Structure 1
Amino acid sequence: MNRTIHRLEVVMDLGSACLVPRRVSSSAEARDVVEAEGAAVVSGIADEDAAIAFGSAMLGQELVRIGRQIEATKQRATEDGAVVAAQPPDERGRKRYISGDTSLPMPPHNDGFAFGDRAPDRLFLFSARPAAEGGESFLIDGLALLDELAKDPANADLVDFVRTVDIDHSEPNFPQHTFSPILRTTPAGRPQIRHHPYLAPVLGEHEAAQWPLVRRWLEAVVTARDTGPRFRLAAGEMAVVDNYRVFHGRHGYTDPARRLYSIWAWSTSAVEVPTGALDIVNPVPVP
């Protein structure tokens, strides 16, 4: 059940920002629904090649690059987690982590956040083999969540911060060298709103004052995850996501046979399209 927050006459339901995406039957319909609502689900995807073909058809002439980035399994999480655990903390004491304990829910995130402007603008999450139990997906519309927060005048400072203040979107020890607000307008005119657990103020004189606002945003997104609806992707189903607008993840599971492919795509309206391979375990920044 969604947690509803009451304060005087204000009622906020942060869980209402969670999407249960509409099911569509064609790439053209998926394109329209994702543009309007942020996400959709398509059925009848036979394999990874078919998933990539669907994404290519959906983006059409706007497609620049598409391909598998991650085969998400319990074993992969354990292996990647061990490598990341050996990486040192950064100068602020922050440390990267990839939890090998898949029984825990994932932090909500936009895929590719470690790569800054090179993150994909479209995301295809193809369920090849769902967990026997658990592992339900969640999608959070970041724009809807900000609108929900704005209902309460007590959040005016947070909403203004999200919209206007440059912060550091880098992962620990992998600086992106540029700063921007949590919500920005891309050069192509698209809104891009972001969340991942490493968001931080820019180092400097305003850092201490800004940490509470960063943490309030992080807490609001996690509250939406924990109180909003979730949905289950069956075998052969694929979530199609606007990665600039929607945060995603899955709830806990233990089945080692679960397998999901995260397919990344860049369109002509992406901020930047990478030319080489992207390694999420060692996301070396562009000089």
Structure 2
Amino acid sequence: MHAPAQSSPAQENPARGPGITPARVPGDRVREAPGLLSRDGAVILTGHGNTSDALVVAAALVIGDRLRELYPHRVRTSHNGGLVHLHADSFDSTVDIGGVPHRRRHPDEDHVLVQCARPAPEGGASFVLDAYAFVDGLATSDPVLYDFLTGTDVDLYGAWAGLRGLPATPRVARHVEYTRTGRRIARRTDGAVPLHRDPASEHVDRQLGRLREAVHGAEASLPRFRLAEGDILVLDNYRCRHGREAHRGERTVRILTLRSSDAR
């Protein structure tokens, strides 16, 4: 049941393209989900109750004894919502409750679960990009951007420095890195800015803009899929970026992020 958190580089198969259509796994076959998540980076669990408890149960079933930390549930309701561009869930937030620090979000959340609590009556289809395949493709199609992603430090959340709960200390990292256990991280955050007084700030800003354009440009070609009420999309957050199309009417999702023992 407890398959490795990601496939080895030889198994990533970037030649297949960066689009992912997650396999759907009903509740009576949930033991297949860890292997599919390892292979594809994403899987959809069907047949679960439309409750926040179902997210916790799904996390335990798919991640198993590698589950290390769960972060608070988030409920997102949108009314006639616009396009949500490809992104990976990542943030760094700690709050004080009764004099005790409590972490609400972690920069190294390596899995995210999204449950459709109320599907939109029109639109709202989801799409997922395999960021490993996307980055590997840049090595030949855009080596300058590839070198930037793999070789340049940025402040991951500097654009949001004024938010309460966000640490004042810059979070310095590269967009593409590896954990000590060998997992590859392919980040995507709109909060990234050049390091303070970085002499290459203009170059960094230019490459951040080019990355945004490249990611947005990839969205139209990605396969679409819809989540029915209660469906849970499970993502390897180190590997995948996800988004959704605009929709009419009201749409609600529940989100649970976590860290496994394979995370940084």
How large is the RMSD of aligned CA atoms in angstroms?
Answer: 2.1
**1:228 offset after TM fit, Å?**
1.8
> 5 Å matches for 1:140-179?
140-152=129-141, 155-170=142-157, 171-173=159-161, 174=166, 175-179=168-172
Indicate the residue corresponding to 2:176 in structure 1. Answer: 183
**1:266 offset after TM fit, Å?**
1.5
Unmatched tracts of structure 1, length 5 or more: 1-14, 76-101, 272-287
Which of 22, 29, 32 is equivalent to 2:32?
Answer: 29
Query: What do the CA deviations read for 1:29-71 (whole angstroms, capped 9, x no partner)?
Result: 2111111211011110112212321211211111122355211
SS at match of 1:108: strand
> 5 Å matches for 1:243-282?
243-256=237-250, 258-271=251-264
Is the 2:92–2:106 contact (alpha carbons within 8 Å) kept by the matching residues of 1?
A: no
Indicate the residue corresponding to 2:12 in structure 1. Answer: none
Pair 1:118–1:180, CA change in 2 (3 A): closer
**1:192 offset after TM fit, Å?**
0.5
Query: What do the CA deviations read for 1:214-234 (whole angstroms, capped 9, x no partner)?
Result: 211111111112332221101
Which of 64, 74, 78 is equivalent to 1:74?
Answer: 78
Taking the aligned partners of 1:38 and 1:266, their CA distance within structure 2 comes to 15
Is the 1:127–1:235 contact (alpha carbons within 8 Å) kept by the matching residues of 2?
A: yes
Indicate the residue corresponding to 1:219 in structure 2. Answer: 213
**1:156 offset after TM fit, Å?**
1.1
Indicate the residue corresponding to 1:6 in structure 2. Answer: none
The runs of at least 4 consecutive aligned structure 1 residues that moved more than 6 Å come to none
Unmatched tracts of structure 2, length 5 or more: 1-15, 94-104
Indicate the residue corresponding to 1:126 in structure 2. Answer: 115
SS at match of 2:123: coil
SS at match of 1:34: helix
Taking the aligned partners of 2:119 and 2:177, their CA distance within structure 1 comes to 35
Taking the aligned partners of 2:169 and 2:178, their CA distance within structure 1 comes to 18
Is the 1:184–1:192 contact (alpha carbons within 8 Å) kept by the matching residues of 2?
A: yes
Pair 1:68–1:133, CA change in 2 (3 A): farther
